[in-house]
């Protein structure tokens, strides 16, 4: 109903504009060409000032309406994200000054220097000094901004700190899979030809490093205050790991692993307090349109304290056991003790894997 109403309003506006232009045509015939041109110039000059004022009010109003709904307000949740926010603020400040100065001058000049009988236009075709100035100044500013951007880009995609938590992220139509490297901190090899049945990631279990790797779907836990490195893959088409709260994103490309690393500043619980939203979660979106289920690719990142994180890891079991249930120690022997099950049973399965 609202849509039909909107369409009717738009059509009415077009009809009104059409009628006004037709009427002014008749007026110009009556008054004579010269006089009507002068009058049209006056109206146009006035309309340009109206456009300027309404445009500026529109800018202010949009900002007022939407700023509170952006993720800017709650601040970045990673160390790198704070630097990226600062860079964005500087960019907005510089381009904002230029935007307001040029737009106000553009419309004001069009109004002030409108056609008048006692004034002749000044012929001003070229000025080398001015050309140089307005080419080099923006070029220098943009170069500075680009250099800062590149610096952070090389940092977030470059070598992660030695103590980083490494997690593999795999995108597929339509969801995210995560793999923890286990106690050896090495992700086992993969081969897409091994992707079948319950081995949905194509992990090569002949690689001893694979045996303690743990696979979870959709939700991933990471520790606060520690660098976290994502090793990113895709299984079918290009996806993109979007981490808006951390101000990070990176393409997930089939066959070409990509990486990014960041240090989360606040746990999920701390963010619930900071945002005043008891339902707050760190979201991971797919930032690359990848098919009809693209919108459902919502991953959740839980930022834990160090203790909570270790506790969580202890609840996970190696993927090896779910792919080869008969290799699970409990399946061969009688029950293992709960708290040390991962370590004890890993020792048991290592020789079997070799």
Interface positions with Cu ion (CB under 5 A):
239, 286, 290, 297
> Which tokens go with 252?
């997930």
Q: Is 323 within 8 Å of 188 (Cβ atoms)?
A: no
Task: Report the residue number, 182 or 299, with the smaller CB distance to Cu ion.
Answer: 299
Calculate the alpha carbon distances from 73 to 66, 245, 274, 297, 331 in Å.
11, 11, 10, 25, 52
Task: Report the residue number, 215 or 239, with the smaller CB distance to Cu ion.
Answer: 239
Task: Report the residue number, 160 or 286, with the smaller CB distance to Cu ion.
Answer: 286
Compute the least distance from the CB of residue 239 to Cu ion, in Å: 3
Tell me how far apart the alpha carbons of residues 292 and 349 are, in angstroms, rounded to a whole number: 41
Q: Is 218 within 8 Å of 320 (Cβ atoms)?
A: no
Compute the least distance from the CB of residue 251 to Cu ion, in Å: 10
Task: Report the residue number, 75 or 254, with the smaller CB distance to Cu ion.
Answer: 254
Compute the least distance from the CB of residue 151 to Cu ion, in Å: 29
**Which candidate, 322, 168, 319, 276, places its Cα nearest to that of 230?**
168
Q: Is 262 within 8 Å of 227 (Cβ atoms)?
A: yes
Task: Report the residue number, 204 or 283, with the smaller CB distance to Cu ion.
Answer: 283
Compute the least distance from the CB of residue 240 to Cu ion, in Å: 7
Task: Report the residue number, 9 or 289, with the smaller CB distance to Cu ion.
Answer: 289
φ, ψ dihedrals at 118, nearest 5°: -95, 20
Compute the least distance from the CB of residue 243 to Cu ion, in Å: 14
Task: Report the residue number, 166 or 297, with the smaller CB distance to Cu ion.
Answer: 297
Compute the least distance from the CB of residue 180 to Cu ion, in Å: 22
Task: Report the residue number, 224 or 286, with the smaller CB distance to Cu ion.
Answer: 286
DSSP state, 175? Answer: E
The b-or-e profile of 101-134 (16+ CB within 10 A means b, else e) is eeeeeebeebbeeeeeeeeeeeeeeeeeeeeeee
Q: Could you write out the three-class secondary structure of 205-257?
A: CCCHHHCCCEEEECEEEEECCCCEEEEEEECCCCEEEEEHHHCEEEEEEECEC
Tell me how far apart the alpha carbons of residues 347 and 335 are, in angstroms, rounded to a whole number: 15
Compute the least distance from the CB of residue 231 to Cu ion, in Å: 17
Asked whether the CA dihedral 133, 136, 140, 143 is positive or negative, the reply is positive
> Which tokens go with 329?
């120690």
Compute the least distance from the CB of residue 269 to Cu ion, in Å: 29
């Amino acid at each position: 109903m609202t849509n039909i109403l909107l369409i009717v309003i738009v059509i009415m506006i077009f009809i009104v504009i059409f009628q006004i232009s037709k009427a002014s045509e008749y007026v110009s015939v009556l008054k004579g060409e010269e006089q009507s041109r002068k009058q049209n110039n006056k109206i146009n000059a006035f309309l340009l000032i109206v456009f300027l004022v309404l445009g500026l009010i529109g800018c202010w109003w949009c900002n007022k309406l939407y700023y509170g709904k952006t993720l800017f307000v709650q601040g970045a949740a990673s160390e790198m994200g704070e630097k990226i926010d600062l860079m964005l603020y500087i960019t907005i400040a510089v381009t904002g000054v230029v935007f307001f100065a040029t737009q106000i001058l553009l419309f004001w000049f069009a109004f002030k220097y409108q056609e008048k009988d006692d004034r002749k236009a000044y012929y001003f075709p070229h000025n080398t000094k001015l050309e140089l100035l307005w080419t080099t100044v923006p070029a220098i500013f943009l170069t500075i901004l680009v250099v800062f951007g590149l610096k952070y880009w090389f940092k977030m995609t470059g070598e992660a700190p030695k103590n980083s938590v490494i997690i593999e992220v795999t995108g597929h139509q339509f969801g995210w899979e995560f793999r923890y490297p286990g106690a050896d901190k090495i992700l086992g090899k993969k081969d897409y030809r091994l992707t079948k049945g319950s081995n949905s990631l194509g992990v090569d279990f002949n690689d001893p490093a694979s045996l303690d790797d743990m696979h979870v779907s959709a939700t991933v836990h990471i520790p606060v205050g520690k660098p976290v490195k994502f090793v990113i893959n895709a299984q079918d088409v290009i996806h993109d790991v979007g981490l808006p709260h951390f101000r990070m994103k990176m393409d997930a490309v089939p066959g070409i692993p990509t990486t990014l690393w960041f240090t989360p500043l606040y746990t999920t619980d701390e963010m619930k307090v900071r945002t005043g939203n008891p339902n707050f979660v760190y979201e991971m979106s797919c930032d690359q349109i990848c098919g009809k289920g693209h919108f459902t690719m919502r991953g959740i990142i839980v930022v834990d304290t160090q203790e909570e994180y270790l506790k969580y890891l202890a609840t996970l079991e190696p993927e090896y056991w779910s792919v080869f249930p008969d290799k699970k120690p409990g399946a061969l022997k009688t029950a293992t003790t709960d708290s040390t099950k991962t370590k004890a049973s890993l020792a048991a399965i290592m020789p079997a894997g070799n």
